[in-house]
Amino acid sequence: MNSQFPFVAGALAGLLLGIAPAQANLIVNPGSTTITFSGYNGQPATITGVLTSGIQGTLLEQTGGTVSFTYLGNESGNVNQFNFAVGNQVLTESSALGATIFGSVGPGALAFSFLDVTTGTGFGNGSNAIVYVANRSTNLYGAFDYIIGFNDNGSSDGDFDDFVVGVRSVSRSVPEPGTLALLGLGLAGLGLSRRRKV
C-alpha cells in the first residue's frame, strides 16, 4: 500500500494542477463598443440600480450550457417583448417580475431578440438597440452575468430601460484536456506500481 502512495498522490496533484481558473461563460464579442447613456429609471432602476454605461456588441456563450433570462421590468411607451429561440420562449411586459425562461445552448452567439410589438420591429442580439452591463447584482433576484437593456424602436432616447432582462449561464462540466492527461499519467503510475508489487 505504501509503495502506491506516491503515484496516488501524483494523480491527485495532477488533478489539482490541471484545473483551470474559472472562466466567464458569457462574453460580448471582442472589439465591441463601450457606451455611456442617461435616463435609465423607472421600474428597472428599482431592481438593478441606475445603469449609466454598458457594451454594445454580440453576446456569446463560450462553452455551451444552460442559459437563463429573467424579466427585470420595463419603462417604455411602446409594448415590448423578449424572445428566446430555444423552445420559442417569450417574456412580455405582462410577465411577473422575476419570471425566468431557460434552455440549453451550444457555444456561439445567443439566439434571442427583442420585439417592439407596437411598431412590429425586431432587434436581434448584436443590434445597437441593445446594451450589455456585466456582473450586476440586483436587490431581488441576485447576481447576473449581464443585464440586457433594450431601447424600443431603436430610438434615440438612449436610456436602455424600455425592457430589461438579466442573463446567467451555467457551463457544461467538461474536464480540461490538461486535467485528463495528468490524471492519466497518475493512473498509469499507479498501474506500474501494482505490476511491480505482483
**Each residue of 18-31: pLDDT tens digit?**
434 345 799 999 98
pLDDT digits (tens, 9 = 90+) for 71-89: 999 999 999 999 999 999 9
CA nearest to 83, candidates 69, 97, 96 = 69
Residue 21 is given by DSSP the state P
Whole-number mean pLDDT of the chain? 83
Sequence spans of domains, the chain: 2-20+176-197, 26-171
Smallest Cα–Cα separation from 85: which of 61, 118, 50?
61
Residue 141 and residue 166 in contact, taking contact as beta carbons nearer than 8 Å: yes
C-alpha cell of residue 180: 485528463
Residue pointed to by grid coordinates 456588441: 57
What CATH number labels 26-171?
A: 2.60.120
- Alpha-carbon distance 11 to 17, whole Å? 10
Sheet containing 59-61, strands listed edge to edge, beginning at the edge strand earlier in sequence: 26-28, 59-61, 108-109
Q: What is the pLDDT of residue 36?
A: 95
When pLDDT is cut at 50, 70 and 90, the band that residue 186 belongs to is low
pLDDT score, position 11? 42
pLDDT band for position 101 (cuts 50, 70, 90)? very high
Which triple of cell numbers denotes residue 126? Answer: 448584436
Give me the percent of the chain exceeding a pLDDT of 70.
74
pLDDT for position 165:
98
Q: At what angle do helices 177-197 and 5-18 cross, to 10 degrees?
A: 180
For position 6, what pLDDT does the model report?
45
